[in-house]
Amino acid sequence: MTQPQYEVLVIGAGVAGICQIKKLKDLGINALVLEAGAGLGGTWFNNRYPGCRFDSESYTYGFAFSRELLDEWHWKELFSPQPENLKYLNFVADKFDLKPHIRLNAGVAAMHWDEATRCWSVKLQDGDVLTSRFIITCTGALGVPTMPNYDGMDTFRGPSFHSYHWPHTPLDVSDKKVGIVGTGASGIQIIADIADQVSELTVFQRHPNWSVPLNNRQIDDAEMADIRTRYEAIFATCAKSNGGFDHLPDRRGYDTVSEVERRALWDALYDAPGFALLLANFPETFLDAKANRDLSDYVAERIRARLDDPQIAEKLIPQDHGFGMRRMPMETGYFEAYNRENVRLVSLLDTPIERIDADGVQLTYEHIELDILVYATGFDAMTGAFDKMDIRGVEGQSLKDKWHGSPSTYLGVLVNGFPNMMMVAGPQSVSGSTNYPRSIEVGVDWVSALLQHARDKGLTRLEADGTAEAEWTQEVISMQENMPFSKVKSWFTGFNANVHAADAAPRYIAYWGGAPRYTKILRAKQADNYADIAFD
């Protein structure tokens, strides 16, 4: 049998790809990472927009696989900013000598399975072709930005770009008229960061989002030393949390606690770091309609108290979904930005954009002149990176065709009909619904153990059983449909307004059964000697 150039090719050198190549290197496997970008880091290489930072506590986001790494790295902020995050990932790559195993500017155009040789043929965008026995995709959850479809977008004379493509060279926004389309996580971070720098900032809000304070702060030497002594306990808490965060729910029971006690808890959680109000709350606030309405009313009250203009406040408070029913952005001074005279909110629900022209944005009733136009309009979540590649499995079957409508996978790791292709943080894994690195390390360990199992037995082909794949996909569907947010259109339910029609059916791109349940399932399948996987 023809020997391929590599035993494993890893697609993507972001957080997942770095973790995966470290594991493969430790196992002595001949592997190479293919990274489309000019640098490693994935999300933290590409997103250079102002205000970009973690919304996971920094010390929960870093890798846990090395005690030495944990002892050496000092997180400087509770929620670390993009430049420091990229510095961290490069530090990891240098410390473990991973860069020789990463090929940059190596975007994948196509991957085709060859049954005769039991290898993948991988064609790069520059025309180069590589062969590998196995493929591990580490393409990330939110790496394919999507643009809206307004007439005239290509006629705007000033800089215009998606937030993901914010220039890597410094862009001076001082004394500029800046427009931002979108108020999701990226938009909210940008708005709060540049409001006091620009001459005019016009926010074109498509749909308001719930948002609460990030409550970021510095981490001094003494606190970092204390964190190092607690890492084991911190990661244990993350492993117990459905979302993989350093927050566990309040189990007292919503109806057993008085309204005064609830308010006291909510006040404390509103002023606590990160996702505390969402994840350290009563579980009923996420699952029960009345409890969620009570909490939504509370957050709306806090928003109103931070704004000078009651009319603007009402426009910033969602009316079509409850608190936590969509991906919740975190903010620092976001609502206060609208109290500034140079910041204007335009609700596109009231006054849609008719077109973009050379000088700015034409609304239904007025023209707004701009120097810079930013589209913070989201991503083609989970499946977007796969759709960009021509991936063909057994008998030339297209993965894009197989996943038309909604993906189907086995454990979010394997796809029937696509042998020897494994996914870390793939569609229908728990990675789309949790603190990303915590689930990544679980996925990397499982995929690596599967590879080692095949190597130990001299096996060159592995493929998920079709029935097992169907059963897992049904598990994913059932978990999503049991959640109240399943009726809300968002990327949680596989919806992107830039990609899908308004009446598009839900898609099932993430597993919502929680990280502990998912981890338990993976470990049970491994203990059962991978009975749902055919080896040859």
Residue 18 to residue 39: CA distance in whole angstroms: 12
Give the pLDDT confidence score for residue 304 in this predicted structure: 98
Q: How confident is the model at residue 377 (pLDDT cuts 50, 70, 90)?
A: very high
> What one-letter code names the amino acid at 99?
K
218, part of any domain? no
Look up the pTM and report it: 0.97
pLDDT tens, residue by residue, 243-286: 999 999 999 999 999 999 999 999 999 999 999 999 999 999 99
| Residue 216 lies inside a defined structural domain of this protein | no
When the pLDDT of each residue in the chain is averaged and rounded to a whole number, the result is: 97
| pLDDT higher than 60, residue 450 | yes
- Alpha carbons within 13 angstroms on the beta-carbon side of residue 488 total 19
User: What span, in angstroms and rounded, lies between the C-alpha atoms of 277 and 269?
Assistant: 5
Indicate the pLDDT class of residue 502, thresholds 50, 70 and 90.
Answer: confident
H/E stretch holding 188 reads helix 185-194
Residue-level pLDDT at 109: 98
Per-residue pLDDT reduced to its tens digit, 94-124: 999 999 999 999 999 999 999 999 999 999 9
Q: Which residues form the domain of 415?
A: 6-144+380-535
Residue 494 lies in a domain: yes
CA dihedral 455, 458, 462, 468 (to 10 degrees): -90
Owner of token pair 């590599």: 6
- Say whether pLDDT at 1 is over 80: no
Q: What is the mean pLDDT of residues 364-386?
A: 97
Residue with tokens 């979302």: 243
Please check whether residue 495 is in contact with residue 502, taking contact to mean a CB–CB distance below 8 angstroms. no
Q: What is the pLDDT of residues 38-93, one digit of tens each?
A: 999 999 999 999 999 999 999 999 999 999 999 999 999 999 999 999 999 999 99
Residue 409 lies in a domain: yes
What does the pLDDT look like over 165-199, one tens digit per residue?
A: 999 999 999 999 999 999 999 999 999 999 999 99
**Domain annotation covers residue 268:** no
Cα 427 from Cα 477, distance rounded (Å) = 12
Average confidence (pLDDT) over 345-368: 97
What is the mean pLDDT of the segment spanning 404-408? 97
Q: Are 235 and 64 in contact (CB under 8 A)?
A: yes
pLDDT of residue 2: 72
- The rounded percent of the chain whose pLDDT value lies above 70 is 100
Report H helices in 430-497: 436-456, 466-481
Pick from 288, 350, 349: which is nearest to 323 by CA? 288
First to last CA, the chain: 14
Q: Domain holding 95: CATH number?
A: 3.50.50.60
Beta-carbon count within 10 A of 342 CB = 15
The number of domains in the chain is: 1
How far, in Å, CA of 525 to CA of 527, rounded?
5
Containing 535, the helix (H) or strand (E) segment is: strand 533-535
Answer for the pair 39, 498: CB distance below 8 angstroms, yes or no.
no
The verdict on residue 406 lying in a domain is: yes
**Is the four-CA dihedral 482, 487, 492, 495 of positive or negative sign?**
positive
- In 3D space, the residue among 334, 352, 345, 320 whose CA is nearest the CA of residue 490 turns out to be 320
Predicted pLDDT at 432: 87
Helix axes 259-270, 289-305, angle to 10 degrees: 50
Q: What is the pLDDT, as a whole number, of residue 525? A: 98
Q: Convert the pLDDT of each residue in 128-165 to its tens digit.
A: 999 999 999 999 999 999 999 999 999 999 999 999 99
For residue 257, being part of any structural domain is answered with no
Place of tokens 């749902």: 532
CA distance 98 to 96: 6
Report how far residue 465's alpha carbon sits from residue 463's, in angstroms, rounded to the nearest whole number. Answer: 6
Give the pair of three-digit tokens for residue 384.
């977007």
Distance CA 333, CA 270 (A): 14
Chain length of the chain:
536
Q: Which residues contact 82 (CB under 8 A, 6 or more apart)?
A: 44, 47, 48, 52, 53
Q: In what order do the strands lie in the sheet with 200-205?
A: 160-162, 372-375, 177-181, 200-205, 343-347
Counts of helices then strands in the chain (DSSP H, E): 18, 20
Report d(CA 431, CA 382) in Å as an integer.
Answer: 9
In a domain, 306, yes or no: no
pLDDT on residue 482: 94
Angstrom distance (rounded) from CA 266 to CA 280: 10
> pLDDT band at residue 433, thresholds of 50, 70 and 90?
confident
Each residue of 130-149: b (16+ CB within 10 Å) or e? bbbbbbbbbbbbbbbbbbbe
CA-to-CA distance for 477 and 495, rounded, in angstroms?
15
CA angle 195, 296, 313 (to 5 degrees): 35
Provide the 3-class DSSP secondary structure of residue 431. Answer: helix
Please compute the mean of the pLDDT values over residues 375-383 and round it to a whole number.
Answer: 97
Query: How much is the average pLDDT of 491-505?
Result: 91
